[in-house]
Structure 1
Amino acid sequence: MRTAIILAAGKGTRMRSNQPKVVHAILQKPMLAHVVDHLREAQVERIIAIVGHEADKVKECVTGVEFVYQNEQLGTGHAVLQAEQLLGDVDGNTMVICGDTPLIYAETIENIFNYHEAQRAKATILTAQVDNPTGYGRIIRDQTEHVLGSVEEKDASPQERLIQEINTGTYCFAIKELFWALNQVTNDNAQGEYYLPDVLKILADADYPVRGYKTNDFEQTLGINDRVALANAERIMRERINTFWMREGVTIINPDSTYIGSDVKIGSDTIIYPNTHIYGKSVIGSDVVIGPDCYIHESTIADYAYVHQSVIHDSSVGSHTSVGPYAHLRNNTAVGEHVRVGNFVEMKNTQFGSHSGSAHLAYLGDAEVGERVNIGCGSITVNYDGEKKHKTIIDDDVFVGCNSNLIAPITIGAGAYIAAGSTLTDDVPDDALAIARERQTNKLGYAEKLKPKKK
Structure 2
Amino acid sequence: MAQKVAIIMAAGQSTRMNTKLPKVLHEVCGRPMLSYVLDACRQAGVDRIIIVVGYGKEQIIDRFGDQADITFVEQKEQKGTGHAVMCCRDELERFKGQTLILCGDAPLIRSETLKTLIEKHEQEKSAATLATTILDNPAGYGRIVRDSYGNIQGIVEHNDCTDQQLQIKEVNPGYFCFETPVLLDALKEIKPNNVKNEYYLTDALHITIATGGKVTAVTAVAPEDAMGVNNRRQLSQASKIMQERIQDKLMDAGVTIVDPPNTWIDVRAQIGQDTVIEPFTYIHGQVSIGTNCRIGPFAFLRNGTQIGDDVVLGVFTEIKNTRLADGVRARHHSYLGDAEIEANSDIGAGALTANFDGQKIQKTKIGPNTFVGPGAVLVAPIEIGPDSHLEPGKVVTQKDLKKG
Structure 2-normalised TM-score?
0.88
Aligned partners of 2:296 and 2:313 also within 8 Å? no
Shift of 1:234: 2.0
Which residue of structure 2 aligns with residue 250 of structure 1? 255
Which residue of structure 2 aligns with residue 398 of structure 1? 388
Aligned partners of 1:336 and 1:355 also within 8 Å? yes
Which residue of structure 1 aligns with residue 98 of structure 2? 93
Structure number with greater CO (CA < 8 Å, separation at least 6) is 2
Q: Structure 1: which 5+ residue stretches go unaligned?
A: 298-312, 384-390, 411-423, 429-433, 436-455
Q: Distance in 2 between matches of 1:195 and 1:290?
A: 50
Render the CA deviation track for 1:198-237: whole Å, top value 9, x for unaligned.
1001111111111111126222111121222222222222
Aligned partners of 2:264 and 2:281 also within 8 Å? yes
Q: Distance in 1 between matches of 2:312 and 2:184?
A: 59
Q: Pick the aligned partner of 1:145 from 150, 159, 174.
A: 150
Which residue of structure 2 aligns with residue 22 of structure 1? 24
Q: Distance in 1 between matches of 2:145 and 2:208?
A: 14
Which residue of structure 1 aligns with residue 327 of structure 2? 338
Q: Distance in 2 between matches of 1:395 and 1:242?
A: 38
Q: Distance in 2 between matches of 1:381 and 1:269?
A: 32
Q: Pick the aligned partner of 1:320 from 310, 313, 324.
A: 310
Q: CA distance change for structure 1 residues 154 and 321 in 2, over 3 Å: closer, same or farther?
A: closer
Query: Superposition pairs for residues 1-400 of structure 1, below 5 Å?
Result: 1-62=3-64, 64=67, 65-215=70-220, 217-297=222-302, 313-331=303-321, 333-364=322-353, 365=355, 366-383=363-380, 391-400=381-390
Q: Output the amino acid matched with 1:351.
A: E
Which residue of structure 1 aligns with residue 358 of structure 2? none
Q: CA distance change for structure 1 residues 29 and 324 in 2, over 3 Å: closer, same or farther?
A: same
- Secondary structure of 1:324's match? strand
Aligned partners of 1:317 and 1:334 also within 8 Å? yes
Aligned partners of 2:301 and 2:320 also within 8 Å? no
Which residue of structure 2 aligns with residue 388 of structure 1? none
Identity %: 34
* More helix by percentage: 2
Structure 1-normalised TM-score?
0.79
Render the CA deviation track for 1:322-372: whole Å, top value 9, x for unaligned.
3333333223x2222222334343333222222333313433341222223
Q: Which moved more, 1:111-120 or 1:266-275?
A: 266-275
- Secondary structure of 2:267's match? coil
Render the CA deviation track for 1:260-316: whole Å, top value 9, x for unaligned.
33343333333222222334443333332222222334xxxxxxxxxxxxxxx3122
Count of residue correspondences? 391
Q: CA distance change for structure 1 residues 328 and 261 in 2, over 3 Å: closer, same or farther?
A: closer
Q: Which has the larger radius of gyration?
A: 1
Q: Output the amino acid matched with 1:56.
A: E
Q: CA distance change for structure 1 residues 319 and 164 in 2, over 3 Å: closer, same or farther?
A: closer
Q: Distance in 2 between matches of 1:260 and 1:361?
A: 24
Which residue of structure 2 aligns with residue 301 of structure 1? none
Q: Output the amino acid matched with 2:288.
A: V
Shift of 1:32: 1.4
Q: Distance in 1 between matches of 2:174 and 2:86?
A: 16
Q: Structure 2: which 5+ residue stretches go unaligned?
A: 356-362
